[in-house]
């Protein structure tokens, strides 16, 4: 298996290694419909083209995201847009939890819900959003994003321990300790990148464009998918020595192969 240290990509003019891609299954965990589409979906498009299995887990239905639309209407609309955007990048499995948009609470209920999904899907990689107060370019991170990012990191480890949430065993969900990496998008200090030049970026743009009603509801604060995602990917590209990239802060959950003191 490729580890984070030997993933390659340290050629001339590059600063970050490439995220290892010697894995088959990934679970993307996000707070709201559209979170994955602001960059990560381009990486997802690359991975599904390689034949990898990607599933999405949304902890809310984004019902508080459109000021001019009541949550009872916004939730179903945003759920439909998320499913449409996922299909564009080759993802058919999109699941929603029922945590309340805008006031998600960190705690055992949230962790259990994410652990349940990890044990069902058995991913080797979990992708989520940064849990830090600051994001890329120093932008302040939203409260739900911080809570869900940290919960996803903790759940990735909880999933392998049968004595944490033992009630999941009664549901037929055996422990899964196979998560190798947890990757945080939008991080202020990324450690790895994914080349999304060409078709992956185009599909990522189309994935965000599927959130048309949500984007329209943002009014003057909205980002147009093509110029924004093209700019962001090209800003990130030089860190990887490519035209366009998506960057992640990547945590490795365990040593792969002999630990350093035995090598």
Total structural domains within the chain: 1
pLDDT score at 3: 60
For residue 4 the two structure tokens come to 């984070």
Establish if 129 belongs to a structural domain.
yes
Per residue in 165-221, pLDDT (tens digit) is 999 999 999 999 999 999 999 999 999 999 999 999 999 999 999 999 888 887 777
In a domain, 94, yes or no: yes
Task: Enter the tokens of residue 46.
Answer: 């690359």
For residue 126, the cross-strand partners are: 27, 182
The domain of 212 spans 25-250
In the block, residue with structure tokens 């599933």: 55
Q: Are 146 and 133 in contact (CB under 8 A)?
A: yes
* Sign of the CA dihedral running 235, 241, 247, 248: negative
In a domain, 20, yes or no: no
- 141 domain residue, yes or no: yes
Place of tokens 């998008």: 185
Binned at pLDDT 50, 70 and 90, residue 11 comes out as very low
**Residue 118, domain CATH:** 3.40.50.10320
Tokens 């970050």 belong to residue:
16
Instruction: List C-alpha distances in Å: 245 to 41, 47, 192.
Output: 12, 13, 10
Give a yes or no: residue 10 inside a domain.
no
Q: Are 248 and 127 in contact (CB under 8 A)?
A: yes
């Amino acid at each position: 298996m490729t580890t984070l240290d030997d993933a390659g990509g340290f050629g001339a003019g590059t600063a970050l290694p490439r995220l290892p891609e010697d894995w088959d299954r990934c679970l993307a965990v996000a707070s709201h419909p559209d979170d994955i589409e602001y960059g990560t979906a381009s990486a997802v498009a690359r991975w599904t083209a390689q034949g990898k299995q990607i599933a999405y887990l949304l902890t809310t239905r984004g019902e508080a995201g459109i000021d001019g639309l009541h949550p009872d209407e916004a939730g179903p609309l945003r759920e439909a847009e998320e499913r449409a955007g996922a299909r564009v990048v080759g993802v058919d499995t999109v699941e929603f939890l029922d945590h309340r948009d805008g006031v998600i609470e960190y705690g055992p209920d949230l962790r259990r819900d994410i652990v349940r999904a990890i044990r069902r899907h058995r991913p080797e990689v979990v992708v989520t959003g940064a849990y830090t107060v600051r994001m890329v370019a120093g932008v302040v991170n939203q409260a739900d994003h911080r809570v869900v990012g940290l919960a996803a990191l903790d759940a990735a480890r909880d999933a392998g321990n049968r004595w944490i949430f033992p009630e999941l065993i009664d549901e037929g969900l055996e422990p899964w300790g196979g998560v190798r990496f947890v990757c945080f998008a939008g991080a202020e200090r990324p450690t790895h990148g994914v080349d999304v030049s060409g078709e992956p970026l185009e599909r990522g743009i189309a994935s965000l464009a599927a959130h048309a009603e949500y984007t329209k509801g943002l009014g003057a604060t909205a980002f147009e998918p093509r110029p924004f995602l093209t700019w962001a990917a090209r800003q990130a590209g030089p860190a990887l020595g490519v035209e366009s990239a998506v960057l992640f802060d990547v945590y490795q959950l365990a040593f792969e192969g002999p630990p350093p003191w035995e090598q």
